[in-house]
Amino acid sequence: MTSLDIGLVLACGCAASNALMDVAQKKALARQPLYPTMFCARMTVFATLSVVLLARMGLGSGPPWQGLQSGLLQSPQVVAVLILDCVLVGCSALLYYRALQVSPLSLTVPFLTFTPVFLVVTSDLVLHERPTVGQIEGVAVVVLGSVLMYRSQFRFGWLEPVRALAREPGSRYMLLAALIMSLTNSLDKWLILRSGSYTFAWLYALCSCVFFSVVLLARLRVERPSFRHLAWKAIVLAGVADAATLLLQFAALTHLRAVLTICIKRSGILATVIAGWLIFGESDIGERLTAACVMVVGAMMLYLSLNLVQQSSLMVVTAVLGIWGPRLFAPPPPLPPPPTQNIENKGV
C-alpha cells in the first residue's frame, strides 16, 4: 500500500470512531452535569492512550518523553505553540460538549463540516496550502447546506433560516468550535511532524486533562460539581472512541494533507445524523440528512481533483438536489375526501 492508501484507510477509521464518539457523548450528557462529565471523559481518553503507549513500550517502542525531549521541548517557540494549541483545544471541547447538551445531535454535529471550510484559510496561514477556485466553490456548498438545515423557516421569510441559525445555541456553539478546530488541526500537524503521532496524542490528552482540571477547580467557586449518578458506561465508551479518533487522525495527518484528513473525518457526520434519529428519536430527520449530505459534499469538494467545469457542475447538481430533493422524494399528499352531496328531501 502507498502512503496515500494508508492515510485514506486511517482517515476512514477516524470517521467511524468519531461518529461513535458523538453518539456516546450525547448519551453521557443527557440530563447530566456538564463539567464532571467532560472531566471524566477526558480522563478516560488519557487513560486509554496511556495503556496504548505502555503496550507499545512492551513491544520495544520508546517512552513518549523521548519524543518530547528530542522534538517538542527543545525550542521555546515549539513549547509556546504547544501551549496555545492545548488551550484552543480545551476551548473547542467546551463548546462542543455544550452544543451536544443543549441541542439535538442531528442539528448540531453537521456544523462541524465548517472545520475544513475554515481550514482552507488557516492552512494557508499556518501550512501555506493555498485554496483553489474549486475549494472556494466547496465553501459555498457547505454554506448552502447550513442554510438548508433550517429550510422549514423559509415560509416565514428568505432571511429566516439565517436568523434561526443565529437563535439555535447548539449551532452557534458548534460553529465556534469548528472555527477553533480549523486552527488547531493545522497546529496539530505542525506539532506532529516534530514529535510523532503517538507521542503527540498522549501529550494532547495529558494537556487536555490539565485544562479540564483547572476548569473544574474554577467551578468549585460557583457550585460543587457532583460525580454521582453519571452515565459511566457512555462516558467510558466516549473516551475510548475519542482516543481511537485521536490516534487515527494524527496518524492520518502524517500521510495526508490536513484538509483531506478532516474532510474524510467529517463524512462520518451522516452516520451521526442517522443515529440522532434512530437512537434519540430526533425529528425532521429527512431535511437534516439532506442538508448534512450537501455539507459533506461541499467539504469533499475542497479536495476533489476536478477541473473547473466538473467542479462547477457538481456544485450546481448538489445545490439543485439539496433544495428540491426532499420534494422529489417526498410521498404524494393524500387525496382529499370526495365532496358530500346535499340531498334535499322534496315532498311529493
Domain assignment of residue 103, given as a range:
3-131+170-283
Whether 126 is in a domain gets the answer: yes
Q: Do residues 267 and 85 touch, judged by C-beta distance below 8 A?
A: no
| Beta-carbon contacts of residue 303 (< 8 Å; ≥ 6 apart) | 135, 257, 259, 260, 263
Backbone dihedral region of 196: left (phi > 0), alpha (psi from -120 to 50 degrees) or beta? left
258 within a domain of the structure (yes/no): yes
Structurally, how many domains does the chain consist of? Answer: 1
H helix or E strand, kind and range, residue 45: helix 34-58
- CA distance to 147, 177, 234, per residue, from 282 (Å): 19, 22, 19
Confidence (pLDDT) at 338:
63
Cell 492512550, residue? 49
CA–CA gap between residue 80 and residue 236 (Å, rounded): 32
**Per the confidence metrics, is the pTM higher than 0.95?**
no
Residue 319 lies in a domain: no
Q: DSSP letter string over 118-148?
A: HHHHHHHHHT-----HHHHHHHHHHHHHHHH
User: Is 136 inside any structural domain?
Assistant: no
pLDDT tens sequence for the chain (348 residues): 788 888 889 989 999 998 999 999 999 988 888 888 989 999 999 999 888 888 877 777 666 555 555 555 667 777 788 888 889 988 998 999 999 998 888 888 888 888 777 877 766 666 666 667 777 788 888 888 888 887 777 777 667 777 777 788 888 899 999 889 888 877 877 777 777 777 777 888 888 888 888 888 888 777 777 787 888 999 999 999 999 998 898 788 888 877 678 778 878 888 888 888 888 888 778 888 888 888 888 877 776 667 778 778 888 888 887 777 665 545 555 555 666 555 455 544
Q: Is residue 83 part of a domain?
A: yes
Residue 144 within any structural domain of the chain: no
Output the pLDDT for position 176.
Answer: 92
Q: Is residue 333 part of a domain?
A: no
In a domain? residue 315: no
pLDDT for position 348 = 44
